[in-house]
């Protein structure tokens, strides 16, 4: 019997690597989905209020056929849709009915981020193809470095934000620019612009920094394809949903990217970097655990470095946080460049080591293999330690906590036709309804002058006497349900609100809820900060 051909051996090795990456991706997804479920169960996500507005918008577009929401004050529906121009938000409306819940929105984002492993692995295969370890090893290295990125995990756990999709989508774009087929750059550019308007110039950057096989002609085609898609997208979006308009001609909406550029070059100047104070506690995670290898691929890293500088110039209280359990989704577009540069940097160092052949012996190849294995082992150990400290709910399959916030319990028992009012801290428990309000904010904005008359039920802690007394002053009001110190108050539909509560009135703080046997510091899945 003849020995298997080299092609058969490569195919078998590739199948083995894919067999290893597939369960790793499943475990990655299951861990983060379980973590999201744990956070939602106690209403301690990044900001349930922001998650609520996304869910209600997607829910109403999916089930009612129109973009509208009542759960968030100040966000007109055109701003939420056309200001960000997120085609991924349209995609979410198609998929929402499959798992119609806030957890379903988080799950969609986590699953999409997990799928970014595939283009990362394919980039690794291309980078390692001509090196001493070969393309199969590159497939494993590329996928592993993506899955072992703590920043990728933290971004996937952001409350649903379209910009998070920039991580897997731009990683895919970077792969297509080196794929070698004329159709791939067009598809990659089309996918890359989908998350939000910040990604439009980054599609051009992907084409610019990727040097594909085929030389200058192929590179020019990539640039042309990216420019065609980005230009078409930007032009159509501007016609349908203008960013800025002349006075008296529509509302117009400034984008976060334009805001950032103005901040850097006009309002403050590039020399002022408030982010410098957060390098160790925040920005360093973008490079962990082995991201310094990216320095060996400076061209690919360049757009990410530029975005990092821009992020560091944004002033405080501007919707951007410098801690990973807060609003960190704005760094999502720069992480693909860091991760891909890391894969490329390692591939270049491995190729360099492979050329070391003292006295004709291939010592370099063996050294490169051992060093790469140790590097991946170190990365896995580092990420495990970080994830445990970040309270990830490590799991091989999705896990649901055995407890839930009483606001979830009461909301689930509401009648289908109910129009509930809750606190902004509990907004996400009723955002799966066509119409719902928050008593501190959206009730005064979306139902001006009507007050509680626009709703039928209120869910609140019984300890908030001022709020419960307001609801009980409605005609026919009574407590109709209770759970762990929370109450549901219902009144006659259409009753007038005579209490005259205003948004500017001082509101009592809604207490934290912690299940019995836990503290705020040891809740599974919930980071301390």
Q: What pLDDT was estimated at residue 218? A: 85
pLDDT at 193 over 80: yes
Residue 497 lies inside a defined structural domain of this protein: no
Which tokens is 180 given? Answer: 């070698």
Q: Where among 315, 337, 353 does a domain terminate?
A: 353
If asked whether residues 348 and 485 sit together in one domain, one would say no
Of 76-85, 352-361, 383-392, 519-528, highest mean pLDDT: 383-392
Three-state secondary-structure class, residue 414 = coil
226 & 85 share domain:
yes
Is the omega angle on the peptide bond into residue 291 within 30 degrees of 0, that is, cis?
A: no
Asked whether residue 364 is assigned to any structural domain, the reply reads no
Candidate from 23-37, 42-56, 154-168, 211-225 with smallest mean pLDDT: 211-225
pLDDT the model gives residue 384: 96
17 and 131 together in one domain: yes
The answer to whether 202 and 340 are in contact (CB under 8 A) is no
Q: What is the pLDDT of residues 22-78, one digit of tens each?
A: 999 999 999 999 999 999 999 999 888 889 999 999 999 999 998 899 999 877 676
- Whether 288 and 432 map to the same domain: the answer is no
Query: What confidence tier does 316 reach under pLDDT thresholds 50, 70, 90?
Result: low
**DSSP string of 162-227, one letter each residue:** GGGGHHHHHHHHHHHTTS--THHHHHHHHHHTSS-TTHHHHHHHHHHH---TTHHHHHHHHHHHHH
Of 140, 143, 132, 129, nearest to 178 by C-alpha is 129
- 397 part of a folded domain: no
φ, ψ for residue 54, nearest 5 deg: -65, -45
Task: Sort 472 into a burial class: Cβ within 10 Å, 0-12 / 13-18 / 19+.
Answer: middle
Helix (H, G, I), strand (E, B) or coil at 478: strand
Residue written as token pair 């056309």: 82
pLDDT tens digits for 397-436? 999 999 999 999 999 999 999 999 999 999 999 999 999 9
283 plus 153 within the same structural domain? yes
Q: Is the residue at 524 inside a domain?
A: no
Work out the number of other CB atoms within 10 angstroms of the CB of residue 242. 15
Asked whether residue 415 falls in the same domain as residue 331, the answer is: no
Asked if residue 439 is part of any domain, the answer here is: yes
CA pair distance 45, 346, nearest whole angstrom: 35
Query: What pLDDT shows up at residue 113?
Result: 98
- Distance between CA atoms of residues 519 and 528, nearest Å: 10
Using alpha carbons, list the distances in angstroms from residue 306 to 310, 317, 349, 405. Answer: 6, 22, 24, 42
Residue 407 near residue 486 (C-beta atoms within 8 A): yes
The answer to whether residues 129 and 51 belong to one domain is yes
Q: Are residues 155 and 265 in the same domain?
A: yes
Note whether residue 513 is domain-resident.
Answer: no
Say whether both 285 and 414 belong to one domain: no
pLDDT of 63? 95
Of all residues in the chain, what percent are helix, strand and coil, respectively (each to 5)? 60, 5, 40
Residue 514 in domain: no
Cβ–Cβ under 8 Å, residues 431 and 67: no
- Boundary residue ending a domain (329, 353, 377): 353
Query: Would 109 be classed as within a structural domain?
Result: yes
pTM above 0.85, yes or no: yes
Residue 270: pLDDT over 60 = no
Q: Per-residue pLDDT tens for 356-405?
A: 776 666 667 888 899 999 999 999 999 999 999 999 999 999 999 999 99
Query: Which residues on adjacent β-strands are paired with residue 437?
Result: 421
- How far is CA 506 from each of CA 439, 467, 473, rounded to the nearest angstrom? 12, 11, 19
The verdict on 332 and 415 lying in the same domain is no
204 and 285 housed in the same domain: yes
pLDDT at 248: 42
Mean pLDDT score across all residues of the chain: 87
**Same-domain status, 290 and 432:** no
Q: How many domains would you assign to the chain?
A: 2
The stretch 195-207 carries a mean pLDDT of 91
Query: What does residue 281 show for φ and ψ, rounded to 5 degrees?
Result: -85, -15
- Rounded mean pLDDT of 89-98? 94
- Residue 250's pLDDT is 42
Q: Which domain holds residue 223?
A: 10-245+256-353
* Cβ partners under 8 Å of residue 268, min gap 6: 313, 315
């Amino acid at each position: 019997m003849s020995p298997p051909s080299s092609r058969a051996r490569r195919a078998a090795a590739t199948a083995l690597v894919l067999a290893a990456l597939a369960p790793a991706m499943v475990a990655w997804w299951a861990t983060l989905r379980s973590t999201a479920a744990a956070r939602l169960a106690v209403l301690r996500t990044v900001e349930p209020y922001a998650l609520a507005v996304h869910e209600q918008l997607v829910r109403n577009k999916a089930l009612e056929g129109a973009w509208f929401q009542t759960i968030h004050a100040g966000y007109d529906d055109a701003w939420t849709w056309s200001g960000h121009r997120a085609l991924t938000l349209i995609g979410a409306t198609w998929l929402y009915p499959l798992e119609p819940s806030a957890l379903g929105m988080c799950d969609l984002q986590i699953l999409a981020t997990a799928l970014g492993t595939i283009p990362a692995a394919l980039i690794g295969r291309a980078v390692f193809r001509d090196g001493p370890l070969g393309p199969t090893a590159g497939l494993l290295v590329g996928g592993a470095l993506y899955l072992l990125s703590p920043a990728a995990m933290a971004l996937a756990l952001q409350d649903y934000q379209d910009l998070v999709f920039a991580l897997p989508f731009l990683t895919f774009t970077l792969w297509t620019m080196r794929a070698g087929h004329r159709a791939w750059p067009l598809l990659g550019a089309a996918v890359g612009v989908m998350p939000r308007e910040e990604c439009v110039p980054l599609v051009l950057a992907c084409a610019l920094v990727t040097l594909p096989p085929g030389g200058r002609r192929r590179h020019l085609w990539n640039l042309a394809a990216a420019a065609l898609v980005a230009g078409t997208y930007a032009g159509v979006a501007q016609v349908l949903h203008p960013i800025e308009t002349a006075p008296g001609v529509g509302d117009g909406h400034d984008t976060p990217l334009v805001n950032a550029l103005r901040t850097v070059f006009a309002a403050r100047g590039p020399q002022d970097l408030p982010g410098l104070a957060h390098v160790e506690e925040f920005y360093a995670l973008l490079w962990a655990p082995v991201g310094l290898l990216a320095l060996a691929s400076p061209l690919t890293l360049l757009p990410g470095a530029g975005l990092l500088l821009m992020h560091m110039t944004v002033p405080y209280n501007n919707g951007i946080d410098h801690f990973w359990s807060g609003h960190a989704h704005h760094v999502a577009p720069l992480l693909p460049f860091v991760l891909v540069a890391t894969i490329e940097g390692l591939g270049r160092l491995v190729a360099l080591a492979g050329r070391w052949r003292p006295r004709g012996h291939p010592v370099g190849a063996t050294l490169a293999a051992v060093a790469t294995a140790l590097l991946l082992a170190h990365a896995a150990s580092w990420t495990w330690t970080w994830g445990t400290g970040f309270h990830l709910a490590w799991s091989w399959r999705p896990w649901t906590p055995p407890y839930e916030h009483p606001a979830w319990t009461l909301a689930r028992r509401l009648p289908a036709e109910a129009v509930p009012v809750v606190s902004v801290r509990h907004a996400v428990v009723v955002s799966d309804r066509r119409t719902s309000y928050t008593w501190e904010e959206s009730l005064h904005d979306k139902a001006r002058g009507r007050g509680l008359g626009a709703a039928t039920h209120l869910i609140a802690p019984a300890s908030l006497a001022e709020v419960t007394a307001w609801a009980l002053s409605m005609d026919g009001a009574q407590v109709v349900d209770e759970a762990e110190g929370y109450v549901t108050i219902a009144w006659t539909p259409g009753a007038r609100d005579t209490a005259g509560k205003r948004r500017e009135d001082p509101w009592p703080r809604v207490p934290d809820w912690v299940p019995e046997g836990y503290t705020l510091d040891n809740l599974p899945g919930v980071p301390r900060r």
